[in-house]
Structure 1
C-alpha cells in the first residue's frame, strides 16, 4: 500500500520564496516612491530658485543701468547750468538739448517711459512733453513726499497716469510704475530739484510672465507692495499681511526657502533697493508627478508580487517534484514508513544513510562487473565519447596506462574466408580467437583490453619510451608476430593497420580511424598486409588519372547487354587504377566516380526502378567497406551491373520502342539539317552502333534510308499542297542544290518533282 506523505517542505519552500521575492520588492517600491518624491521636490525648488535668481539679476541690471544713466545725466555740467536758469522762451536751445538727452533714456532695453527734471527754485518742470511752469503750492502729495524724503536717491512705487504710455491694461488709465527719484544736484545738502525716471511695472512683469507656468513669481518693494506679478491684476496690492509674510520678514537672511500651508516659498532680498523677489509653488501640485510615480510604482509592485507569487508556487512545485518523487520512492520502499511526520528532506537523509550502510555490498557487486565496465570504457574511448576528466579518473586503474608517453591504435581485420576452411558464421569465434592471440603477444602493461568493433579487432598500444625509431621497430615486430601466429594457428589471412603515434588519450578516436584507413591500403598492395598510416602519408598524391575511355566502353557494353565484354572491361578498369601510384583517397574517388556514372546511366535510361540490394546499407557504404580489388570487381558485377542487365533484358521491347521513338523525334525535328546517327546517339546517350542495330531491327530499314524517305515524303507533301519552287523545297530539305534533290526524288519515285506536281496537284 502506498504511504500518504506530508508536504511540509513544499509549504516551507513556497513561503520562503514569497518572503525572499516580495519583501525586497516592497522595500524597493517604498524607497523608490520616497526617493522620487524627494528628488522631484528638490529639482523643482532648485529650478524655481534659479529662475528667481535670473529674474533678480535681470531686473536689477535694468534698474542699475537706469540709475547710472540718470546719475550721469544730472551730474553733467550742462544740467547743472540749466538748473540755475529760469528756462524761458529765450532758452529754447537749452531746452531742446535737455529734451534730446531725456529722449535717450527711453529705450526698449531699459523700459523707461518718461523722465522728468523738476526745478523747485526756478519753478519749471521738464519732461518728454516739453518744459512747463511748476507751481510749488500745487505740487502732488507724492511729489512733496519725494521732496521731503531724506534719501538722495531711491526707487519708489506710484500710481501714475500718462497718456503717452500704451498698455493692454483693460482699465485704460491707471498704471503702476516704479520711479527712480534723485535729488539735484546729487550729494548736495541743499538740492534745488528732482530727477524722476518712471518705469511702468508691466515692463518688469515681462521678466515674470514667461516663467509663470513653473510657479507664482512676484516682486515686492520695501513696503511689501506688489510691483510685479505673474498675474498682472495683482500689481499694487499690499501683501504685508499675507500668512507667509510673517515668516519671511522674521527670517534674517538674504535668500532662503520655507513652507507655509502647503505652499513652498523661495525668496531673495535685494541689497540694492530693498525689494523682495518671491516664488510661490503649491506643494500639492509639485507632488502631482510624485503621486503618479507612486501609483505607477504601486501597480508595478503589486503586479510583480502577483507574478512572484505565481512563479514561487509553480517554481516550488517544479523544484519540489523530484524531491517528492524521491521521497515517494523511499517511502514506497519502506525506508520512511515509520517517519511520516518528519520533513521530506530529513526522511530522504535517513534513506541516504541507509544506502551508505549498504555501500560495501554494492562495491562487491561492482567488482564483478569490472571487465564489462572496462570493455565499455575502451569502446567509448575509441568512439570519442569520453571527456578528459573521465579519462583521467579511469586511467590509474588500467595497468599503468596513465604513465604512457606514446600511444598508437592497432587494428586487425580478417582479409577473406573464401580460401579457408571457415564459413561466414564462424567469424565471431575467429575474432575471439584472434583477440586471445593479440592479448597474449602484447604485454598487459603496454595495452588496453582488445575489443571488437564491426569487422575489426582494435587495441590501444602504449609505451613509456620516447624514441620514435625504437617504438616503430617494436610495434612492427609485435604486429608481424600477431600476423604470423594467426596464420600458423588459425590458418587465417589477416591485415593489420597502425595509426600515427600520439601523446594524448583524447586523440584515441582519431588514431582508431587512422588505423582503419591504413587497412584500406590493401586495395593497391593486396593482402595480407601490415601498413602504418605514416606510409600512406608518404605516397605522393599525383594528379588523378581516371580511365575515361575504359569507363565509356564499359557503359556501352552495359547498354547493349554484352556480358562477355563487361567482365574483361571491368577487370581492365581495375588494373588501370592500380597501375597509377595514388593514395587511398584517390582510389576511393575513382571507384565512387564509376559508381556514379553507372547510376546516372540507369537514371538517364529510365531504369531507376532497378533495386540493387535489400541491405540497409547504401551502395556507397558497401563500396567503401570492400577490402581489395577482387572484392570490388566482383561487387560491381554481381551487385550493380548484373541487376541492370537482367532488368533491361526483361523490358527489352519497351526499351527498344523508347529508343526508336526518341530517334524518330530527332529526325522529324532536324530533317532539314545534316542529321546523322552520331548526333542521335549523343543526344540520347547511346552508342551509334547500338542505335543502328536497334533501329534496323525495329523498323526494317537503315537509319539513312529512313531519313531519306522522310525527306522525300515531306517533298511530296509540299509539291502537292504548296506553291513552293523546286529549289526552295530542296533548300528546306537540306540539299546542297536542286539537281541533287531532283536526282534523289526521281530515283525514289520514278519521275521528277515537276512531273509529280503536275500529276497529283490536280487530284
Structure 2
C-alpha cells in the first residue's frame, strides 16, 4: 500500500514553504524587472544589431582571408605545379587536390588555377580550355578576353562586384570573382587563383545572423563600390547607396524612399563596409511586442509561481516518498505506519546500520593493512579507527608476520582454520600489558599481528626482553588452540603507531629468513642483524635489509627513509672519496639486485645517471628517484596481478554459479587467497558482495528459464544450484513482488499452469 500523498502533512509543509520562498519574492521582483527592461530594451536591440552585424563581418572577413591562405597553400603545393597538373598521370591527383581545397572553403562556390601564358585552366571539375568562360561561366559585363587578360596580369588580390553569370541551360547566378596572384607578394607571379563566390552566400549569412531581419543588406569595397547586396524587394536610388556608404560606424536613423529606416554600419580592417537598413516601424515593433508579452507573463506569475511551487515541492518530496516505500519494503515490522514518513526512514536506517556492523570486520582489516603498508595516513583518522574497534593507546608497538608450512591449515574446509582466524583477530594479554590485532595478508597462507604494549622502562634490552616474552606467549596461545606451529618473523619495537610500516617491513624481512629454517622457527629482526656479517662498511646492515624489503613491498616512504639514513651515516663518518664511491655503489647494487629479483630489469640502464654525482645530496636525490620508480612498478605489477586474478575468479564464478558447493571458502581455497582478502577485493572489483553476486546470477538464470522453457519450477531452481525451493520463492517474491509462477504468466505467453501448483506445494 503506497503512502497517500494527499494526506501527507510533510508534502503540504513543503508546498507552503516553496510558495512563501519562491512566489512572494518573485512577485516583488517582477515590478522592478519590468520597469528596468522596458527602459533598456530599446538600446539593447540597437546594440544587438551592431554586434550581430559585426559578427557577420568577422565571419566574411575570415572567409576572404581563408581564400588568400588557400591561394598561398596552392602556390606551395607540390601536387599543383605546372608540370604535375599537365602530366597525363599526375593531373588526376592535382584535380583531386583542387577539389579538396574547394571543399574546405566556407564561401567559395568554385575555384580555378591558371598558369599565366597557358591555354588551359584547372578547377575542381578538371582541366578545361579557356573557352569555359564563354560556354559555362559567361559573365554579364566581364567578357572572356578581359577575364583572361586579368588572369594573366593581375598584380595584387582583386575582387570584382557581384554580377549575373550564365552557367548554361538558362541557369543564372549572381557571383563575385576574387583573383589572387601566386606566389603571393611576389613581383613576378607565375599564376592566378580565381575564386567564384555566390552573392547569396554573403548576404544570406548576414540575414541568418540578424534574426527576424527584413531590410537592405549591402557590402561595399574601400572605394564605395557595392560588392554584394540583398534588397529584399525594396528599391534604392544611387544617391541613397552613396549616402549609406559615407555613414560612420554605428547605428543611424535615415530617410530612404520617403520612409524612416534604422541603419547599422560597420567597417572591417580590409576597408570593406557592411550596412543593413530596415524600416524603423519593423525595428521598434519588436519592443512593443516584447512589452505586451512581458505584461502578460508578469500578470500570470502568481498562477505559474504557485504551480511551480507545487511541482518543486512534489519533486522534493519524491525522494522521501521513494525512501519511504523502500523502508516499508525492507522493514520486517507489520505495525501500523507512524504519522511522519521520516520515522519510517529512520527505522530503516537503523536496520541498515545493523547490516553495516556485519561488514565492519572487512573495513577493520583494510584499515589495519593500510597502517602496515603506509603507517599513518590522513584517511585513517583516530575517530574512524575507534569506530572500527581499533585503539592504539600503548607506549610501544611492533609487528609479527607468521605462516604455516602445512597448507592444509589454510584450507577453507579445514576445522582449524576458523578458530585460528577468530583467535588472532584480537588478543589481549593483561599480564604483559599487551593488546594485539591480527589480520590475513593478501599473500596466501600468511598472517600479520600488530602488537602494542605498555612498559615503564626505556632501556632497550628491557623492552626487547618484554617483546620476546609477548611473542612467546602469542605463539604458545596459537599452538595450544590450533595445534599449529607457525614460522614467525618479528619487527623492531617503536614508540609510535605511526611507525608500524617500518616494523612491518622488518617483520617481513625476518619472516623471509624464518621460513628458510622451517616450521616453528622464530626470527627477530634485531637479532637477524647480529647473526649476519656486516659487509656494508659504514652502511648498517639493518638499513640495507629494510631497504630491500621496502622495495619488495613497494613502500616508498620507508625506502626513502632508509636511503636518507644510510647517507646521513656516511656524512657523519666522512670517509675518503674513493671509499665513499664504493660504499655508494654498495647501496646502488643492493637496489639493482632487488629490482632484478622483482623482474624490473630496465633500471640497469640508469647506472650511468645515478653514479655521476658530485655531492651526497645529489646522490640521495637520484637514489630516492630510483626507489620511487621501483616502488611504483611494484605497486602497478601487484595491482595488475590482483586485477587479473579477480578477473579469473569472476570468470570461474560465471561458469560454475550453478554448483551447489560453490562458496567463499571453496573459491578462496582454489585460487590460494585468503577469504577475507577475497571477500573485500571482490566487492571493490564487482560492486556487490560475493553472496549477492551469486544470487543475482542464479536469479537471472531462473527468470530466463521461466520465460523460455516450460520446465517445472522445482527443476529450474535445482538446476541453478539452489536446494531450498520454498526459501528461493520467498526471496524471489520479495525482490520482484510476484511469485515465479506469476512472473511466468505475466511475461511469457507459454506459461505452464503447473508451476503455481508446485509453488503451493513448496509453500505448504
Q: TM-score, normalised by structure 1?
A: 0.30
- TM-score, normalised to structure 2's length? 0.30
Larger radius of gyration: 1
